[in-house]
Amino acid sequence: MIKLLDKKITLNSDVGSRRCILTKDEHQWILITGPPHVTEEQMIKRGTRYFYKDVEAFLTALLFKRFRALVDDWDENKVINAVNMAKTEVIAVGREVEANTKGLLIYESS
């Protein structure tokens, strides 16, 4: 397993934090989530898995999940702030994944 991202993400004040490990096999991207205090072996065995066909699908899903976690009231200003915060977080994760995958993945030209 190639670990491309290992990050602790704060979901919201009620839920707390989750540890997220992003990996890739030959067919899909795999996000494994679990409590932040467990070991890597425990995360791989017992973590919740989400499968994505490509990194774009992963980042899109992450954007929607972060937005939903950040919105607690449908006030217009709070929604706009939540969108901006979610976008900033997802861009940072995308850049981290890009930095971690340089030289590891072969991209096919179309």
Under a CB-based contact definition with an 8 Å cutoff, are residues 43 and 21 in contact? yes
Total-model pTM: 0.75
Q: Contact, 70 vs 86, CB < 8 A?
A: yes
Would residue 56 count as lying in a domain?
Answer: yes
Domain presence at residue 110: no
In a domain, 9, yes or no: yes
pLDDT tens-digit readout, 76-102: 999 999 999 999 999 999 988 888 887
Q: Report how many domains make up the chain.
A: 1
CA angle 50, 55, 56 (to 5 degrees): 105
For residues 27-50, give the mean pLDDT. Answer: 89
Nearest residue to 22 via CA among 6, 42, 40: 6
Inter-helix orientation angle 76-101/55-70, to 10°? 150
In-domain check, residue 30: yes
Question: Is 107 inside a domain boundary?
Answer: no
Cross-strand bridge partners of residue 35: none
Res. 11 pLDDT band, cuts 50 70 90: low
Phi/psi of residue 74, nearest 5 degrees? -90, 30
Decide if 109 is inside a domain: no
Range of the domain at 67: 2-101
